[in-house]
Amino acid sequence: MPTLAASATSISRQPGILRLTGRNCGVRLAAGCILLAFGSVALPPKAQASDRHTPIVKAVQGAKDSIVNIHGQKMLGATDEPAARGEIPRKVNGMGTGVVIDERGYIITNFHVVEGVQKIEVTLADGAEYIAKLIASDSSADLAVIKINAQSKLPVVPIGTSSDLMVGESVIAVGNAYGYENTVTDGIVSALHRSVQVSDAQGYEDLIQVSAAINPGNSGGPLLNIDGEMIGINVAVRAGAQGIGFAIPVDKAMSVATKLLSVERLGWHGIVVQETGNGQPGLVVSAVEKESPAEKTGIRPGDVITTVAKQELIRPLDLERTLLARKPGEEVPLVVRRNDQSVKLLLTLGTLPAHASADSDLPWDMLGLKLTQVPAEQFKQYHSNYRGGLTVVDVRPDSPAARQGLHRGDVLVGMHVWATVSVENVNYILNRSDLADIEPMKFYIFRNSTLYEGRVTVAMQKKATRE
């Protein structure tokens, strides 16, 4: 009677056949060892390594080097929502995420990540650490641009569009969740155009709702699509909710970033642009400021600027990035598409005009401010009832303006009961004989998109100036 061998010392495999070899080699018959056939039961071939490189893996790998972690300390006081009433202000550790949008070290993040932080600490994907400077911020949009002086060019995140997002499409969130750096979560777009009130002081409009987990520390990090393009900036989690996160659409975020970066521009060009709207490269010139370098160069409304200094333009942010480090007097080659023809032009950057009268030094002497008029098209970004304003281009140290905290980039829109549309308006106010009767004088400024009110004393300064 045949018996089953007690053991086998090795196993070899051929397609469709399992062969047992060794001293006791299978079923013992008088004829010795035989082959047992089991049909087509061959073990599957080992999975290829490429099978593991899913679209999500590829998306993360393409963007990860442009994502940074942000740390810092801030004071949390009784007026802050997380602090209990009557609690003594204390230092707390903050954390968040940022994304490189320019190879020279410009990073976009949420305003609340860097608000009140004295030393903004940034860690790159390779572990290098830097201290960042706050360039500009927009508290209403909860966005800020910071900059580090990196030792080499930084990788820039691939930027997509949020204009064609579809409910149900896959998305990936990356960030410093709860201090766990470079945490990756995935989900889908759950809804579009959501309004969220996070606190009494902060609300958001037109957010992307996602099912990807977004936790404290994710703020400021990218929301990626399956192609690895940034289509949003992670911003908020609804308290107590599961699988509900939110992000600022990338189109809005890049529009805000364009305005924030403009304060770094040294040379004036006078071009107002917008995207083509048809998905094609290039920027449509919507307006050209009078007597500007652009007008003198021959740039016209309706032109489509395709390249500046051989750099292709996709969105208005690209124009600001290209001209960031260029100074007045510098010549910049550009190509425009006009009536289906390609036209090469040479733009010579200028200095912002003073638009001042004979008393143009009065704001500097009495307030410590150098002012220049904001072009009408540019002022529309503030969506305010003010008719215009004056950009602060310089502040004299220890001046009345400096003591009140004004700084470069602020936009002065009013003093006392008068609007300050031009430098002549400011001269009129400072020359009034009843100036002492209205002191300390109220003033109103836009800092990014937020209106602030302050008071300044200038009558004594006027007396000293005249003497």
Of 360, 381, 357, residue with least CA distance to 369 = 360
Catalytic residues: 112, 142, 219
Tell me the two tokens of residue 109: 């993040």
The β-bridge partners of 138 are 143
State the Cα–Cα distance between residues 403 and 436, nearest whole angstrom.
Answer: 19
Work out the number of other CB atoms within 10 angstroms of the CB of residue 14: 9
Using only the alpha carbons of the chain, give its radius of gyration: 31
Q: What string of DSSP letters covers 70-132?
A: EEEEEEE-TTSTTSPTTPPPEEEEEEEEEEEEETTTEEEE-HHHHTT-SSEEEE-TTS-EEEE
**Cα separation values, 43 from 14, 15, 37, 52, 159, Å:** 9, 8, 14, 20, 44
Helix axis angle, 250-261 to 316-323, nearest 10°? 30
State the Cα–Cα distance between residues 147 and 130, nearest whole angstrom.
Answer: 10
Asked whether 209 and 203 are in contact (CB, 8 A), the reply is: no
Tokens 């709702």 sit at which residue?
209
Amino acid at 403: R
State the Cα–Cα distance between residues 389 and 285, nearest whole angstrom.
Answer: 23
